Chains A and B, each alone.
Chain A
């Protein structure tokens, strides 16, 4: 296989270890005076967007940032719980840049680009430094130094955290940097605005059309470059751990204007979420992967065992992850843990009323921590109950907010009974295809963070999303954007009266007018639910050829029905969340079709993509490196028409092996 001529990843020459250092010192620079006249548009204010906007403004560029929320601080990065990885080796347990690189490539099941991942590992340490300097209150030990914990798919402790609110603290750090530049007049912030198209002039991205969500007005904004930092598309499944507003619209518009979409079928199903309780469910809630540090996952050994958890004796419990994967136990990567849970439930061993759940049990941790406390405090002859209580206090300090959240949602006290968990859609590894500079196939159009496809291959390791978002925004784009903008210093700001702006605005306007004038019988929400069901059933945790083919037909039919029968209440020129929703659902429907096509093309199982036809006798994913060691990059060519381009993946610094966590 050879890489398509349309895909130039622009990977610098030279040994892996020096690529980034060397490239960074040779990439063209833009002098401070020129930066002042170069305008950059940033879409989204999560970790990637906020850190990029703040850093580019610090450098002197004129930045405009957009978010659909009422404040940039509410972007969904805020909800990340467990932590952020960095190869600091503060624990002296053998961590290194190479090990983080290796774990990430292996965790991604050998479907990520070596050069990008190595760079990610290299800058990971700087991220922690930057965040601490900006006042992010990470957890610390009594000596005043930073604390670390373990996460899935690794055997070192490299995860930095702030209780179960790491994403919140990191985002508020990046947000304060962004607001500082807003206050200084270097960033113009547009809240409650949604990007609805990319404007192309002479083959380059030159701006956007945005909708003011309060007044409904369409606005034209010019930029020398546009950065899509709008997050992932997990909400295509309707139920996911994403925020209600998380959507693919900005990335999808970019795709339809020429940006190739990379690995759309690579979605991450997170193993530890609170199970669905009924049809009313609007979203799913994650319980941090960090809980697998101390919790043990099990189901009864007997089928359809209806006894309460505490009445099932130890020898009648199946700690199936510890049984199947003794080397990593409960800390296997997410894709493996999720499939193992599905396998047990499908086989009839599930627990709870729905039988679609497994236990996450903290009893052993209470005992272990309790004994530690007893020793620390010099208590002799402690009673079993005293040990348990002391242990619970330790767990409360580490995970208290997560336990509270569980109790709030389920009405059950997790300090008394084991939690019930089940996998849920959480993250999308796929996204806009980007080169080493994070530029899409459209000149001047970039994608950062979860919105791009670049670093996690077919499965992302826990605590690596925060790392990637901030790496892209703080430490990659500020350098790599120079490679493009250095040649743009002679481009004067283009008037938004240019015909390309007028035309793009007209198209957006036509679509909105159409949506609101259909006046059918079903709400956008109802269509979203239907799409989600098709995607979850046929393109979810397990996929097969027949199901995917059916799904494509069903989605096409759904699309047709949507455009003739959707009912959007309210008017165009007012605050209208129903219209916003309809716009987003229309894009999700189109994306869903592409995801199924991609899953159908990939006749192998790897990472989060599990094709039932391709598995080992033990039920593990079976890769086909000979035929599928590529990134699929889809070019939009018209309604339901895509052309597949392949970027061949070369592993020169890592020995490819069947992934094993046994």
Chain B
């Protein structure tokens, strides 16, 4: 045992998408405050394996806050109590000895549960496939410095591009809207001269795909931006709406 924190965990367990889930309660002791939240789950899983029980499935990979795989809904907030932090970068020093921690998967119709805390977020990939790109085949490019891009536009584009596609915005939203995710990609490309040619078609196609996936509407509550671990701004949603309306009004089809 490395630390002296004792915790009660309430965790969503669900065998697969066809069966109903339920909350289970586990006791953990000897947790160190230097552990990450996922390392605390590693301890839980080792304990479960030792007891001959099925360990808790959860998505995780890079464990440095950039891949966007980890996705736990902790005490009613995506990625837990801190701002600007993914679950893997949340450390146990943010909790106290004796705490009860409730952990659920992302809850959204468009993100069905696969098992326990693991959900299917393929809808995001399909939104990107619908138009989240610049159609430039390899080999078509001109010299990289041929088109100067004003630093403020490049910086703003980069800020939007920082999205890691984790889905916390959807999980935080009472409507399970994917507007923040979709608008971040639309903004990134709309702010660059390279994205100009497909600007209107992109906005229309991505918004249409987003609707088709079953995500809800935006009612400007702002929970998405408040919970986004990468600080993606609501301004992107406003920009997406502008792009979309201009596309709807200004194009032939």
Cβ of B69 under 8 Å from chain A: yes
Q: A566-581 interface mask toward B, CB cutoff 8 Å, 1 = contact, 0 = none?
A: 0101100011011000
Q: What sequence of 0s and 1s flags, for each residue 114-145 of chain A, a beta carbon within 8 Å of any chain B beta carbon?
A: 00000000000110111111110111111111
Q: Are A71 and B121 in contact (CB under 8 A)?
A: yes
Q: How far is the CA of A492 from the CA of B85 in the complex (A)?
A: 51
Knowing A73-B68, A165-B162, say if A146 contacts B145 (CB, 8 Å).
Answer: yes
Q: Please, how many angstroms separate the alpha-carbon atoms of A419 and B38 in the complex?
A: 24
Chain A residues near B133 (CB, 8 Å)?
Answer: 134-135, 176-177, 179-180
Q: Can you name 11 A-B residue pairings with CB atoms under 8 Å?
A: A73-B125, A76-B67, A132-B147, A134-B141, A135-B157, A145-B148, A179-B132, A214-B114, A280-B39, A474-B138, A525-B46
Q: Which of A125, A278, A575 contacts B16 (CB 8 A)?
A: A575
Please state if B148 and A143 are interface contacts (CB–CB under 8 Å).
yes
Q: Which of A179, A189, A570 has the most CB of B within 10 A?
A: A179
Interface residues of A (CB under 8 A from B): 51, 54-55, 58, 69-74, 76, 78-79, 88, 90, 125-126, 128-135, 137-146, 162-163, 165, 167-169, 172, 175-177, 179-180, 182-183, 189, 191, 214, 241, 243-245, 277-283, 285-286, 404-405, 408-409, 411, 474-475, 478, 523, 525-526, 567, 569-570, 574-575, 577-578
**Which residues of the partner chain A approach B29 to less than 8 Å between Cβ atoms?**
none
B141 touches A74 (CB 8 A): no
Binds A, one of B171-179, B187-195, B218-226, B237-245: B187-195
Residues of B within 8 A of A279 (CB): 2
* Extra contacts besides A76-B67, A523-B46, A525-B42 (9): CB < 8 Å: A54-B138, A70-B122, A73-B68, A130-B138, A135-B157, A144-B154, A168-B66, A169-B161, A179-B132
Is B64 on the interface with A (CB-CB < 8 A)? yes
Q: Are B194 and A134 in contact (CB under 8 A)?
A: yes
Chain B residue at smallest Cβ distance from A141: B151
Which of chain A's residues have a CB closer than 8 A to the CB of B120? Answer: 70
User: A578 CA to B132 CA in the complex, in Å?
Assistant: 35
Q: Which residues of A contact B67 (CB under 8 A)?
A: 69, 74, 76, 78-79, 243
A135 touches B192 (CB 8 A): yes
Given A54-B138, A70-B120, A88-B144, A165 and B66 contact (CB-CB distance below 8 Å): yes
Closest B residue, CB atoms, query A286? B64
Asked whether B49 lies within 8 Å of A567 as measured between CB atoms, the reply is yes
Tell me whether A51 and B138 are in contact in the complex, defined as CB-CB below 8 angstroms, given that A134-B133, A140-B154 are known contacts: yes
Residue of B nearest to A283 (CB): B63
Would you call B27 an interface residue if the criterion is a C-beta within 8 Å of the partner chain's C-beta atoms? no
Query: Are A133 and B151 in contact (CB-based, < 8 A)?
Result: no
CB pair B46–A70 under 8 Å, yes or no, is no
- Which of chain A's residues has its CB closest to B56's CB? A577
Q: Is the CB of B148 within 8 A of A70?
A: no
Do the beta carbons of A144 and B149 come within 8 Å of each other?
A: yes
A70 — which chain B residues lie within 8 A by C-beta? 59, 69, 118, 120-122
Neighbouring A residues of B212 by C-beta, 8 Å:
none
- Are A574's CB and B194's CB within 8 A? no
Check A71–B140 contact: CB distance below 8 A.
Answer: no
- B 31-64 contacts with A by CB, 8 A: 32, 34-36, 38-39, 42-43, 46, 48-50, 52-55, 57, 59-64
Q: CB-nearest residue of chain B relative to A576?
A: B57
Q: Which residues of A contact B192 (CB under 8 A)?
A: 135, 137
Q: Does B134 contact A (CB under 8 A)?
A: yes
B144/A183 in contact, CB under 8 A: no
Select which of A144, A243, A578 is within 8 A of B151 by beta carbon: A144
Q: A134-B134, A135-B188, A137-B154 are in contact. Are A90 and B91 (CB under 8 A)?
A: no
Cross-chain contact B129 with A180 (CB below 8 angstroms): yes
A146 to B147 Cα, complex, angstroms: 10
Q: Is B73's CB within 8 Å of the partner chain A?
A: no
Instruction: Check if A575 sits within 8 Å of B118, measured CB to CB.
Output: yes
B81 interface hit (Cβ, 8 Å): no
- Cβ of B128 within 8 Å of any chain A Cβ, yes or no, is yes
Kindly list the 7 A-B residue pairs having the minimum CB-CB distance in the complex, ordered from nearest.
A144-B148, A183-B129, A133-B141, A176-B133, A129-B141, A137-B158, A132-B144
Q: Is the C-beta of B143 less than 8 angstroms from some C-beta in chain A?
A: yes
- Kindly identify which residue among A131, A172, A182, A282 contacts B38, using a CB–CB cutoff of 8 Å: A282
In the complex, chain A residues whose CB is within 8 Å of the CB of B59: 70
**A176-B64 Cα distance, complex, nearest whole Å:** 22
Query: Chain B contacts of A569 at CB under 8 A?
Result: 48-49, 52-55
Q: How far is the CA of A129 from the CA of B144 in the complex (A)?
A: 4
Q: Which residues of A contact B121 (CB under 8 A)?
A: 70-71
Determine how close the nearest CB of chain B comes to the CB of A392; give it in whole angstroms. 19
- State the CA gap A204–B15 with chains docked (Å): 41
